Chain A
């Protein structure tokens, strides 16, 4: 932030025409989270969670698996938006803030990929003739 032009001083510091995008995406994923995480929550409370075979049967149902994949996308998108704001508010210093935002993106994208891949494993392992845990 040197002694540049007025535009140069504010560039990169916030919205410039697309500020509503973050806000809107947060609301859209919030709405999806109400439905999808609500579904997961009710399922978790009702499932016999100690019974691996029963939980696996539930998760490998195509409708459930699709809902879980959508939930992972929506949740990790939403948490990326929320944690971005947290970092922007509380992490000071250019370098640490940039590093935090990079790590957050690794976490959000990596976590979502791990979750989706786990669901795909659960659904496709029997089709591939593998026992659970194969593949």
Chain B
């Protein structure tokens, strides 16, 4: 337990003292993306669901804040939140795919497979790449539909 160690031996997880590798990056990204989804993603989902249940006016207010305010003169607050909302949604899309692919990698690792150094490195890089590509593909699809 931190603060009660009898010696100054290094403890995990102390990111600063390790040499970064793809496996380490995908590990910490799993935690970062998971925590992002758990806090920002879950709250955004509940906000959306609550607005949907509360009726058309509440739903329109949610959209005007997060996505696009249709009024002719958009206030400064919504000008900012319309941008922040889109950034957050793209970030959540990336976190979703990163956590999904990384989680699938963990299922494979749970079977005892994929620990050889080269294999491990290959799949770590593949997870990070696939997360970015899937996010890009999703938003290209969404924007193609919106245009």
CA distance A68 to B4 in the complex (A): 44
In the complex the two chains form, is A114's CB within 8 Å of B50's CB? Answer: yes
Interface majority SS on B: helix, strand, loop or mixed? helix
A37 and B96 within 8 A (CB): yes
Closest A residue by C-beta to B142: A45
Partner of A83, one of B13, B35, B52, B53: B35
Contacts of B38 in A (CB 8 A): 79, 82-83
Given contacts A41-B96, A92-B2, A122-B53, contact A50 B42 (CB under 8 A): no
* B112 interfacial contact with A, CB 8 Å: no
Contacts of A34 in B (CB 8 A): 100, 103-104
Question: Smallest CB–CB gap between A89 and chain B, Å?
Answer: 6
Interfacial residues of chain B within 59-114, with CB under 8 A of chain A in the complex: 59-60, 63, 67, 96, 100, 103-104, 107, 110
Question: By the criterion of a CB under 8 Å from any partner CB, how many residues of chain A are at the interface?
Answer: 38
CB-based contact B31/A86 at 8 Å: yes
CB-based contact A59/B107 at 8 Å: no
Say whether A75 faces chain B, with CB atoms less than 8 Å apart.
yes
Contact partners of A118 in chain B: CB under 8 A? 46, 49-50, 52-53
Given contacts A92-B2, A133-B55, contact A86 B63 (CB under 8 A): no
Per a CB cutoff under 8 Å, which of A52, A68, A86, A119 touches B59?
Answer: A52
Q: A27-B107, A34-B104, A122-B53 are in contact. List 6 more A-B contacts (CB 8 A).
A: A52-B60, A59-B52, A82-B38, A92-B2, A118-B49, A118-B53
Interface residues of A (CB under 8 A from B): 1, 13, 27, 30, 34, 37-38, 41, 45, 49-50, 52-53, 55-56, 59, 68, 75-76, 79, 82-83, 86, 89, 92-93, 111, 114-115, 118-119, 121-122, 125, 131-134
For this complex, 5 residue pairs linking A to B, each with C-beta atoms less than 8 Å apart, are A41-B96, A52-B56, A82-B35, A83-B38, A133-B53
